[in-house]
Structure formats: structure tokens, C-alpha cells
Structure 1
Amino acid sequence: MLNSIPGQFKKAAAFISNLKPATTRQEIPDSTQSGLYLVMQPSGALSWAVRTKIEGKAAKVTIGRYDETGSVERGAIIVSATQALNVTQARALAEKVVADARRGNDPRQQKIDKTSVSAWFDDFIKTARTTGFKGRPVKASTADEYDRIITTNIKPHWKHVTDIRTVDYRDVEKLLAKLTPGARRNAFAVLSAFFRWKPVARAMGRNIVELAEAPAKPQSRDRVLSHEEIKTVWKAAEKCGYPFGPMVQLLLLTGQRRDEIAELKWSEISDDMDAITLEATRTKNSRPHIVPLAPLAMMIIEALPKMHDADGNPSEYVFTTTAATPFSGFSNGKKALDKHCGEPALPEWHLHDLRRTCATELAKLGIKQEVTEAILNHKTGKVSGVAAIYNRYDYQDEKRDALEQLAMRIKAIIANNVIMLKKTA
């Protein structure tokens, strides 16, 4: 019982740390502040509640969750079920709640309901973009992907959940069962990060994802487009038009990742349009990357329209439908592309297969592996150990030559007059 706790903060915290959960919910009254209770769930989760009278009727107000140190700055304490309060903070807030109730003010009207799934996920995304989970914000593209997965695949299936603390591993498994295999793996990865997040872990007292059955790992893909398929996709991209069509063509001509091209900015293209420069924050391996542009790629970019917003301001994005945000309609774009590919439909393929196809065609042209990996911005497996530490050569000339050869190969494929050249030594 808290009424056996001395007033000193450290002793109270030590007492609470030694409490053991029972099979039923417990309410442990505080001896210092009248009406304050520490609530312990069977799961071990701890929260603070105040019992008082509002307009002559008994009422209970949850004011926060227990945390030994607390995470609320002085003067910023409000009535919120998700804020972390230590003993001193809980007593101060409980005193205020009781005083407000006596004056006829309902403290529940000040309560910010942040126990819903939507509110927790919103805070999770906000944390990812600001402080991050390991002392620094996550990459903007990663935070955007978290946001997309949560908005598309998680929130719609948990609308009925009013308190995140009521979710268990069976809810996770039911949600995953409603998704396609690819979406299932993505959602599981986000949920794993979410339930490991300290505020959620403290509120729930356990990581429920550890009890859920993880989706099967995807089989490694080795899909490469044949020359006939390259021609089909290229022609279909021409029919799709801006923005998806030319974006697909650049993916094949440069071998870059989908989002690196889809989120391309005009400021990342050189004045003479002969290269793209991606900052470290825009690449998967967090390394800056220069992509030389072959004449065919330059011609595609030069033909692109420059979008403007409602006020007439030019968009910073090369591929956009809103002028304010980069292109993101991949699902609808892929459907349109497949439709223009005609019948019979191409066997199951993904946009990422264009990157693999690019690398394969470069190999057929006899391009050295380290040059191909430099184009793809991979950490090369060809140069390793001590050599990798001291080798800072970036292969810019070789990359340009290789991508120009690739562009010529693609032009020949489209024109049906491709000649397979013998590999160079």
C-alpha cells in the first residue's frame, strides 16, 4: 500500500518497483495526497488515477502513467492518460484535480485523450521525424514510409480500438491476416518498432509483437526483364505519359532506387542536365551519390513539364501531381503501365526489377562489377578489407561510359536491332 510509503520520493519509488502484479486489477491509495491511487494492471502496467466528486457524483480521472523519473517538464503537466509522471508529479497533479473539482470545474473536460491507436501512432511518427529512437531523427524517406504503412495498412483495421493498452498479439495477427504478403511484412516491421518504442512499452508493460507469429520471409527475387519485355515496358511508359511514364524510363536508364527517382528535385540535377547528385539523406546507405546521365536520359528530363502550385510557384519536384509533394501513386501508376503493356500480360514483375535488369544489362556489356556497384551505390563486394578503407575512387568516368553504353543498348532494343557485343576482358 502506498500509505505505508514514507514521503521521500526515493523510498516511494523503491516501494513501487517491488510491487508484484496480481491476477486482478489493483488500486493502491497514496498516503500523502488524498484521492490519488496507483493502479496496477495484471500485465504489470502502472497508471495514476484520482477519485473525487464532480457535481456531487463520484468520479475517477486517469491523470497519467507511472514512471520512476517522469518525462513531463515542470509546469507542463496536464490531465493525459499517456504522460509519464513520477510520484511527486502525480501528487501535484492530483491536488490540482481535486481542487478543480471542488470549485465545480470538471477536470475531465481538460483531458487530452491520447490513448487511442491513432494518437499513439501520430506521436510515433512525430518522434521519428524529430528526436528519433536512437538519438537522431530517422531518414525522411523512412519516416514517410512508416507514415504510409500506418495510414494505409494499420489504422483502418484498428479504428475500433479506443485504448492501445487493450491490444494484444491476437489483434496483431488478425490485422496481418487481412493484408497482402508484402504489406504484411511491412506492417509487422513497423509494429515491431512501434511496440518497442519506450512510451508504448511502458504503457503496456510488455512487447506484444514478440508473442505474434512473424510473417514468412520473402523469397529472394531474381526477376530480370528480357529484351522483348524491356521494349514492351518502354513503349507502355511512353503511353502512360507524365509523371509515371518518364519516371519508369529513368529507373531503367539509371538503375537507381524507386524513391530516389520518384522524389527527385530539380535542384539535384546539374545545370547542363548531365548528372544527378543525391545527398546522403536521400540514399539507402546514407552516402552521397552522383549519377551521370546519358544523352537519352537527358533528353527525357529536358522534355518534362515544370509543375506550378495554385499561386504560380514552381514545384521543387521533378515528378509530382500536386506540385507540393513528390509522386507517390505507384499502385495506380503500375496498373496503368501494365494495362498499356497489353496482352499477354508480363509475368509478375515489380519496379525494382528494373534496377536488377539495369545491372544485368551492364554485366552483358562487360562493365566491371565495381563500376556497376558504384552506379547502384552499393557497398562493393569486389573491393573489401583494407583496400575498401583506402579506395575512395568514385569511378565517375567509368560510370558515365557504362550508362551511355546502357542507353545505346536500350535504344537498340527498342528499335529491334540490338547486337550482343562480346564482353571485354
Structure 2
Amino acid sequence: MPNSIPGQFKKAAAFIDNLEPPTTRQEIPDSTQSGLYLVVQPSGALSWAVRTKIDGKAAKVTIGRYDKEGSKDDRIGTLISPTQALNVTQARAIAERVRNDAKRGNDPRQQKIDKTGLATWFDDFVKTARTTGFKGRPVKSSTADEYERIIATSILPNWNHVTDIRTIDYRDVEKLLQKLTPGARRNAFAVLSAFFRWKPVARAIGRNIIELAEAPAKPSSRDRVLTHDEIKTVWKAAEKCAYPFGPMVQLLLLTGQRRDEIAELKWSEISADLTAITLEASRTKNSRPHIVPIAPLAKTIIEALPRIVDADGGPSDYVFTTTATTPFSGFSNGKKTLDKHCGEPALPEWHLHDLRRTCATELAKLGVKQEVTEAILNHKTGKVSGVAAIYNRYEYESEKRNALEQWAIRMQAITVDNVAVLRKSA
């Protein structure tokens, strides 16, 4: 391996791009700027370091990581951060300042900004997801919220010992996953996959370490469908839960929609006459706008809901909320309360998503055509697929309304002793 970096920027960048990861850590001195070294790790990670003397003692100051394009941050040259991206020109300029500061008796290490901590990296990751995204457009707000939740509950608490992101390898990922429950394990792996593929992180570490980690096993496909007795039990338990979780569960069962689509429902998405819910493409999983007819029973539930106001007395736009400013999110505690009200014996293991599957199954029992059910669920990947899916733009609006009204009538028959919900006073 050559002993020095060529003096011209373009030649230096080409030289660095062609470096092969060594078997042991190496420092390559810069031929132009005295004291500047390119540190090459066996992992392929590249960083800049300056060797100088501080108070008469030899010292090494890490000034950033190598990046061919460098950073466009206006603070470059005034602040020192081990994780800032520096091209050859920027590294040489900062190295000169570090050596001059040291000669004047100033310790440049006291000017560092600690940006190697995981919390900062994850904050920037979530911020990027919300603003520019990773594929040319921001991710959905609910997805970014889920990233933030998983990072806060499953990742950071188990990596509080990590002080520098560059020290993480695939074994750390696998150890973290082993500490989590199966569901949390899959969620954390999904977030970490996106995180380690993110270019700033991949550049800092030198490779996408998630590719070496063993992925969690895929969950077995669930086919849990509630029986009529169980539907009745859940409905009665939902009545006891009251607002916001109780009526939210009832609407999930009546409409067959996804959990977050109902939990994050806004009053502005409900028609003035309470006959339909209109979800924009940004609010649906398959990024398609979706209209959900509201059956009379569902309308009665919505009419009975309170209108929450914020601290200034203004009405919240969220249908289900405890803060007026954010949608309902306490699913774990809500489900525990719901299960408690279901009584003994407890229902066999079931999830809120099973309500969606139950609705679809009951629609089939009522003789509703599969393409209509798929239109209701906004899940057009079954019978209507291929060429038919491309050319069939019919929305089945009247068929969807008729089907959901039939299902609401069947629901009333199943929960015959729950007539209280039909009265607005409930």
C-alpha cells in the first residue's frame, strides 16, 4: 500500500476510492498537510486524524470521517466532530487549524461536538424520514412515528453502552434482537435495516452491517377469526372501555379498516352527513385514496363521540384523542383493559388486526363478492389483479355501502342484547 496520499484533490479522492480494507488498522499520512492521517479500518471505515503536541505531549485528534463529496455544513472549519463528513480539502484545512491551535496552547479536543452518540444519529435518521425520505419522498407520518417509537422503546435502551456508531457490528444487532419479544424483534430489525442502509451511516461504518446479521424468522401467517360469541364478548367489552378505545374498536369491527386508519381518523375525513370516510393516499398502506361508507350503526357510534378541545378551547381535528393535538396511541394499555372487560374465560390469543379479518370473513358469509370485500378493505391483491387490476377502476361504491350495511345488521343480531349503542344517548 502506498505510503502517502497524492497532493491533488482529484488524484487523492481516486486513490482513496481504490483502497482495499487492510487486515489491520492503518494510518496513511497526507503528503500535503503535515500531521494529517487517513485512518483505514479493516471494516473499510475511513476517518481523518491529526497528530500533534498538546502541552508538550503527543496527542491524536479525530476530526471527522472521509466522504468524497464532503459536508455542506456552514460550521465546517469552526467545529470539530468525529462524525462530520470531510473531503480531502476540508480535512487539510481543519488539520492546519488544529495544529495552529495546539501551537498556541489551545486544546482542540475541548472544542469537539459529540455527534457519535446513537441518539443523535437516530434523531437525524427520523428527521430525514419525515423531510426528504430515502427514496426521493418523505415516508408517511405514521411510519416515521413508528420509527421513533421503536427506536425509543426497543433500540436505544439496549444500546446505551454504545458511544460511537462506528464500533457497532452485526453481532451487536443480533444480541439486541435476542433481548426482544418476537414482535418487537421484527419491528426493530426493520428499522435497523433502513437505518444501516442510510448513506450517512453506511459511510461512517464503512459497510451495511445489517447484511451480516441473521434476520428474525418470518411470523407464521395468522388466520384468527372471531366467532359470533367472541364478537359479542368484544363488543360488550368495548362498551365498557368507553371513549376513546371502546368506540374505536367498534368502528374497526364495523368497517374492517386498518388500526391506524381508524385510530388517526380526523373529523375532516368524515363527510358532513356522516355517510362516508375519505382517506387520502398518504393515509393508506398501499398509498391509494380510499372511501369507506358509514353504515347506520357506525354513524350512531360516531354521533355519540365527544368533541375534544385543546388548551385554547379550539376543537381537535382528531376523532380519537386524549391530548387534542395527537391521535390516540395507547394501544397496549387499551387492549389490556379491553381483555379485562372480556371477562373469564379469556378469549384465546387475539389481536386488533383480527377484527379486520373477522369483518372480511363475515362479509363472505353474507355472500359479498370478493372484489367488493377487497374494495372495502382497500386491499386489491386478490381476485382483482394483473391486467384486470390495471383497467378495472370501478370503485364499487354502492356495493361497498350495501355490504357494510348488511354487516352492521348482522352485527346487531350477533350483539342483540347490546341495543344501548343504537341510542345516541349512549
Same-fold call, TM cutoff 0.5: yes
8 A Cα contact 1:362 1:402, kept in partner: yes
- Structure 2 counterpart of 1:336: 337
Cα distance in 2 for partners of 1:58, 1:314 equals 64
Amino acid of the structure 2 residue aligned with 1:13: A
| TM-score normalised by length of structure 1 | 0.94
Query: What secondary structure, in the 3-state scheme, does the structure 1 residue paired with 2:211 have?
Result: helix
Cα distance in 2 for partners of 1:266, 1:104 equals 64
Q: For residue 210 of structure 1, report the CA deviation from its aligned partner.
A: 1.9
Q: For residue 23 of structure 1, report the CA deviation from its aligned partner.
A: 3.1
- Structure 2 counterpart of 1:26: 26
Aligned length: 417
Query: What secondary structure, in the 3-state scheme, does the structure 2 residue paired with 1:148 have?
Result: helix
- Structure 2 counterpart of 1:250: 251
Gaps of 5+ in 2: 419-426
Cα distance in 1 for partners of 2:110, 2:76 equals 17
| Deviation digits for residues 138-195 of structure 1 (CA, Å, limit 9, x no counterpart) | 1111111111111111111000111111112221111111111111111111111111
Q: For residue 113 of structure 1, report the CA deviation from its aligned partner.
A: 1.2
- Structure 1 counterpart of 2:388: 387
Cα distance in 1 for partners of 2:387, 2:11 equals 55
Cα distance in 2 for partners of 1:309, 1:103 equals 57
8 A Cα contact 1:2 1:30, kept in partner: no
- Structure 1 counterpart of 2:80: 79
Cα distance in 2 for partners of 1:216, 1:384 equals 28
Cα distance in 2 for partners of 1:21, 1:284 equals 42
Q: How does 1:37-186 map to 2 (within 5 A)?
A: 37-73=37-73, 76-77=76-77, 78-186=79-187
Cα distance in 1 for partners of 2:286, 2:378 equals 8
Q: For residue 61 of structure 1, report the CA deviation from its aligned partner.
A: 1.9
Deviates more, 1:98-107 or 1:387-396: 98-107
Amino acid of the structure 2 residue aligned with 1:202: R
Q: For residue 13 of structure 1, report the CA deviation from its aligned partner.
A: 1.5
Q: For residue 196 of structure 1, report the CA deviation from its aligned partner.
A: 1.4
Cα distance in 1 for partners of 2:337, 2:383 equals 39
Amino acid of the structure 1 residue aligned with 2:191: V
Q: For residue 406 of structure 1, report the CA deviation from its aligned partner.
A: 0.7
Amino acid of the structure 1 residue aligned with 2:113: I
Q: For residue 223 of structure 1, report the CA deviation from its aligned partner.
A: 0.3
Q: For residue 372 of structure 1, report the CA deviation from its aligned partner.
A: 0.7
Deviates more, 1:20-29 or 1:290-299: 20-29
8 A Cα contact 2:5 2:28, kept in partner: no
- Structure 1 counterpart of 2:421: none
8 A Cα contact 2:269 2:277, kept in partner: yes
| TM-score normalised by length of structure 2 | 0.93
8 A Cα contact 1:72 1:85, kept in partner: no
- Structure 2 counterpart of 1:363: 364
Cα distance in 2 for partners of 1:73, 1:312 equals 42
Deviates more, 1:399-408 or 1:101-110: 101-110
- Structure 2 counterpart of 1:420: none
8 A Cα contact 2:6 2:15, kept in partner: no
Query: What secondary structure, in the 3-state scheme, does the structure 2 residue paired with 1:392 have?
Result: coil
Cα distance in 2 for partners of 1:396, 1:76 equals 57
Amino acid of the structure 2 residue aligned with 1:99: N
| Deviation digits for residues 386-407 of structure 1 (CA, Å, limit 9, x no counterpart) | 3322221111111111111111
Query: What secondary structure, in the 3-state scheme, does the structure 1 residue paired with 2:63 have?
Result: strand
Query: What secondary structure, in the 3-state scheme, does the structure 2 residue paired with 1:213 have?
Result: coil
Deviates more, 1:104-113 or 1:322-331: 104-113
| Deviation digits for residues 44-73 of structure 1 (CA, Å, limit 9, x no counterpart) | 211011223344443322111111222435
Query: What secondary structure, in the 3-state scheme, does the structure 2 residue paired with 1:195 have?
Result: helix
Deviates more, 1:339-348 or 1:184-193: 184-193
Cα distance in 2 for partners of 1:14, 1:214 equals 35
Gaps of 5+ in 1: 418-425
